[in-house]
A and B are shown apart, each in its own frame.
Chain A
Amino acid sequence: MSPAPRSASARLALAVTASFLLAFVLLGVGVHYAVSALLDGDAREVVRADAAGLVELYREGGRAALADELRERGAQDDTDAVYALFDAQGRTLAGHYEDALPRGGRSPHWIAFAQHQGDERLRVVAQLLHLPGGETLLTGVRLRSQDRFLALMLRTALAALLVAATLGAAIGWLTSRWVSRRLRHLDDTAARVGEGELALRVPLDGSDDAFDRLARRFNGMLDRIEDLLGGVRHATDHIAHDLRTPLTRLRNRLEELRERPSGQSRDAELDAAIAETDQLLQSFGALLRLARIEAQAPAIQAPRLDLAALARDAADLYTPSAAERGIVLLTELAPGWVQGDADQLFQLLVNLLDNALKYAPADSAVQLRVHGESTGVLLQVDDRGPGIPEAERERMFDRFQRMEAHRGSPGTGLGLSLVRAIVQRHGGRISLGDNGPGLRVRVVLPAA
């Protein structure tokens, strides 16, 4: 298990927890503010109503009645109400309020102060009201229950915060463990495949989540690698088989030559042996070229060139050979711009023309067509030869694959493999079809 994904998921869990807590704190502050504003409004409403009742009493009974009422109310202990009455000089006439009367201000006028009752510190909100006789009435209320409620809320919120933080950390930790466990399968499999257990695959859980999809892609990649390796093994077997035959023949020839006295027949045999060697070298050359083309990156950065111009050159090269066998090489070439490697595309044309001319009967026609469109450039080679049965067409692209009937004729059996490799490198498609009678090869390359 590598530390990177683990710490990455841990970081993620931490970040989630932190933003969760921040959101919680912001929400808490907001709620606290809103609730205390609401409670404050309620308290003032109560004070306002109380004061209005006292003012009514003052109007009816005068200063003495009000003072009596206030003294009576002050005697009750269980109330949170606070009253006081001051004369115009600021002397206390009645009530609990011992401190000096705050000076100035309009009427009515709200003040807030604190009172101490034992250990408890009580907030008081009060209204100062100037009465017609010059007295000042203070009506207030202790915010004892409101403060208790807010304190309770704060305690609850802190407890919730603690629970949330613990839970967040736990979930984060579990997530990071889960992520690294999910990655561990991938990691283990990759490590073991790297050590050579190519058949191994990452177990899928069918959940189709990101991990499952990644695992599936990873498995797909392994499948492709295994396929390619199988292809290589297959090709190697073919190569070993197909090159052993001419090599054995060459060896036999040389052995025979050793026994033979020098002379005319010996020279002819030596020539044949050299020709055999050349053929072998050609096969090797073609194999190497094929391997290199298959290993090359796609020709996307390659220069633009006109396939028709290449086809014209190729036709020019092959017209005399065709004419020798009475074959007419018909061309129908319209500009077709592609991106690619001129040498490789010329090799493609040469191989296709060579095949067509090899199998075309004498006095027939071979047609070479290039036609460019915005979607793609079509290259088509038609001959009137025996064609290839539909069932065998796909197989013709394999290395050293040749029609049984033509085993004896010259050629490496790599021509079409090379053609296909070049087509694929240029992002095109190739198909073999029926020319009724004969073979029709269609190559479509992306237009540039």
Chain B
Amino acid sequence: MRVLLIEDDLHTAGFIAKGLREDGHAVDQADNGKDGLFLATTEPYDALVLDRMLPGLDGLTLLQTLRGAGNRTPVLLLTALGEVDHRVEGLRAGADDYLVKPFAYAELSARLDSIARRGSAGGSEPTRLRVADLELDLLSREARRSGKRIELQPREFRLLEYLMRQAERVVTRTMLLEAVWDYHFDPQTNVIDVHISRLRQKIDQGYPKPLLHTVRGAGYRLGA
């Protein structure tokens, strides 16, 4: 994936760029808004990582300019401002996701993967999701593994649906909480782990090959 990173803090930029390269992405960097906008409009990128506060041209203005010009490249907005209003403002300006500093690299990586994929998926909404022999019917709200029906609570169904939509990708605990519970909050304990382990019992127990994996220091991944 080719990623443009627009971030003025050298240390943060270096840290993110190093992580992205280790993940196998090609990274271009800009340390101010003007250069960032120039690169973003002249080069094709799969995703943008954009700091909200930048010298030269403010990140939000850059984003609005980009969207106004019809550029639909997925954008992950970084910010030190975590208030709901700011997040809403960022998303309204055209950001695909919003990450508050300080953050762990794993969180950024997972969210970037998620929005980049959302950007490239396109097309019509599938009515059936499939990962290996695990199948989810979104219309009849049924889950089956190897053809055998699995009973799921509504919340477990949403959890599995999200994991399957992000199949083969790392999702963090915060992403799960936001997607499945729809609240932006700070979990005091790893309350989501218990939900995952319950789900894991239902979909993996009794099958030779587990599908729901724990990724240490990051989150979870559903995949073969």
A-B contact pairs, 30 of them (CB 8 A): A271-B216, A274-B217, A278-B104, A281-B102, A281-B104, A282-B186, A285-B102, A289-B186, A292-B83, A296-B83, A313-B181, A317-B181, A317-B191, A318-B191, A321-B191, A321-B194, A324-B194, A341-B84, A343-B183, A343-B185, A346-B181, A347-B183, A347-B185, A347-B186, A350-B188, A354-B188, A358-B189, A410-B189, A412-B188, A415-B188
Nearest-neighbour CB distance to chain A for B63, whole angstroms, equals 23
Closest to B87 in A: A343
Q: Is A316 part of the binding interface, using a Cβ–Cβ cutoff of 8 Å?
A: yes
Q: Is B118 part of the binding interface, using a Cβ–Cβ cutoff of 8 Å?
A: no
For window 194-216 of B, CB contacts with A under 8 Å fall at 194-195, 198, 216
Q: Is A411 part of the binding interface, using a Cβ–Cβ cutoff of 8 Å?
A: yes
Nearest-neighbour CB distance to chain B for A327, whole angstroms, equals 12
Q: Is B155 part of the binding interface, using a Cβ–Cβ cutoff of 8 Å?
A: yes
For window 390-448 of A, CB contacts with B under 8 Å fall at 410-412, 415
Q: Is A288 part of the binding interface, using a Cβ–Cβ cutoff of 8 Å?
A: yes
Given contacts A317-B191, A343-B184, A347-B185, 13 further A-B contacts (CB under 8 A): A271-B216, A285-B82, A286-B186, A288-B82, A296-B83, A346-B181, A346-B183, A347-B186, A350-B187, A350-B191, A354-B189, A410-B189, A415-B188
CB <8 Å contact, B191 and A354: yes
Complex-state Cα separation, A424 to B193, whole angstroms: 31
Nearest-neighbour CB distance to chain B for A415, whole angstroms, equals 6
Complex-state Cα separation, A386 to B199, whole angstroms: 33
Q: 1/0 contact trace for B85-103 toward A, CB 8 Å?
A: 0000000000000001010
Given A313-B183, A343-B183, A320 and B194 touching (CB < 8 A)?
yes
Nearest-neighbour CB distance to chain A for B187, whole angstroms, equals 7
CB <8 Å contact, B188 and A411: yes
Q: Is A342 part of the binding interface, using a Cβ–Cβ cutoff of 8 Å?
A: yes
Complex-state Cα separation, A324 to B102, whole angstroms: 31
Closest to B190 in A: A321
For window 254-284 of A, CB contacts with B under 8 Å fall at 271, 274, 278, 281-282, 284
CB <8 Å contact, B217 and A321: no
CB <8 Å contact, B217 and A271: yes
Closest to B193 in A: A321
Chain B residues engaging chain A, CB cutoff 8 angstroms: 82-84, 100, 102, 104, 155, 181, 183-189, 191, 194-195, 198, 216-217
CB neighbours of A296 from chain B (8 A): 83
Q: Please report whether the interface of chain A is mostly helix, strand, loop or mixed according to DSSP.
A: helix
Q: 1/0 contact trace for A371-382 toward B, CB 8 Å?
A: 000000000000
Complex-state Cα separation, A278 to B102, whole angstroms: 10
Nearest-neighbour CB distance to chain A for B12, whole angstroms, equals 14
Q: Is A146 part of the binding interface, using a Cβ–Cβ cutoff of 8 Å?
A: no
Interface pairs A-B: 9 shortest CB-CB: A354-B188, A320-B194, A347-B185, A346-B183, A343-B184, A321-B194, A281-B102, A321-B191, A346-B185
Closest to B154 in A: A316
CB neighbours of B185 from chain A (8 A): 343, 346-347, 350
Number of chain A residues close to chain B: CB under 8 A: 32
CB neighbours of B100 from chain A (8 A): 285
Closest to A323 in B: B194
Q: Is A351 part of the binding interface, using a Cβ–Cβ cutoff of 8 Å?
A: yes
Nearest-neighbour CB distance to chain A for B165, whole angstroms, equals 21
CB neighbours of A412 from chain B (8 A): 188
CB neighbours of B102 from chain A (8 A): 281, 284-285
CB neighbours of B84 from chain A (8 A): 341, 343
Complex-state Cα separation, A271 to B104, whole angstroms: 14
Q: 1/0 contact trace for A349-393 toward B, CB 8 Å?
A: 011001000100000000000000000000000000000000000
Closest to A284 in B: B102
Nearest-neighbour CB distance to chain B for A242, whole angstroms, equals 16
Nearest-neighbour CB distance to chain B for A278, whole angstroms, equals 7
Complex-state Cα separation, A292 to B186, whole angstroms: 14
CB <8 Å contact, A320 and B183: no
Which of A320, A324, A346, A415 has the most CB atoms of chain B within a 10 A radius of its CB? A320
CB neighbours of A321 from chain B (8 A): 189, 191, 194
For window 272-314 of A, CB contacts with B under 8 Å fall at 274, 278, 281-282, 284-286, 288-289, 292, 296, 313
Complex-state Cα separation, A316 to B217, whole angstroms: 25
Nearest-neighbour CB distance to chain A for B177, whole angstroms, equals 8
Nearest-neighbour CB distance to chain B for A403, whole angstroms, equals 16
CB neighbours of B82 from chain A (8 A): 285, 288-289, 292
Complex-state Cα separation, A351 to B191, whole angstroms: 11
Nearest-neighbour CB distance to chain A for B79, whole angstroms, equals 12
CB <8 Å contact, B188 and A351: yes
Closest to A321 in B: B194
Closest to A316 in B: B155
Nearest-neighbour CB distance to chain B for A141, whole angstroms, equals 93
Q: 1/0 contact trace for A35-58 toward B, CB 8 Å?
A: 000000000000000000000000
CB neighbours of A415 from chain B (8 A): 188
Complex-state Cα separation, A351 to B102, whole angstroms: 21
Nearest-neighbour CB distance to chain B for A11, whole angstroms, equals 45
CB neighbours of B187 from chain A (8 A): 350
CB neighbours of A282 from chain B (8 A): 186
Complex-state Cα separation, A261 to B98, whole angstroms: 40
CB neighbours of B217 from chain A (8 A): 271, 274
Complex-state Cα separation, A285 to B81, whole angstroms: 11
Nearest-neighbour CB distance to chain A for B13, whole angstroms, equals 19
